[in-house]
Amino acid sequence: MVDKNALKESEPKNRLFLSGNEAIARGAIEAGVTLVTGYPGTPSTYVIETLLSISDPGFRVEWSINEKVAFELSTGVSWAGLRSLVTMKMSGLNVASDSFLSVQYSGAREAWFCTWPTTPTSIMGWSNRIHGTTLV
């Protein structure tokens, strides 16, 4: 694990070896997001936990009460012309699917990042039936 405060340095002094979740957190910092939100569930929990462990990341980081609320909050930030990131486990997309499908018609005004991490070694479950087939 890397020193969490090293993630927010604009030019790290040393090469950083990051987990996938830490890399997503670093990407959010570099992208200039104003909000990171999500609903806890392994493996996506660690993106927000990483950002919450950084002292003053420079933007708002929060948990939402469910995946739909997280998705809609992130969408609203994008519609306001600001960058945002939403993260939830793959099966959480089912909870947010009404909003996800509706937003496809309205689009976004600013960059809007959505992550749906899944466990690559799992052999059963909803996420494996659609993994790699839906999200662009």
**Alpha carbon distance 68, 93 (integer Å):** 8
Angle between helices 97-106 and 67-79 (to 10 degrees): 20
The confidence score (pLDDT) of residue 134 equals: 36
Q: Name the token pair of 65.
A: 């009460």
**Alpha carbon distance 108, 5 (integer Å):** 31
Q: What's the whole-number average pLDDT of the chain?
A: 77
- In the chain, what are the domains? 4-130 (3.40.50.970)
pLDDT tens, 28-45?
888 889 999 998 887 778
Portion of the chain with pLDDT greater than 90, in percent? 13
pLDDT tens, 56-86?
878 999 999 998 999 999 999 988 999 999 9
pLDDT over threshold 70, residue 119: no
Q: SS3 for 11?
A: coil
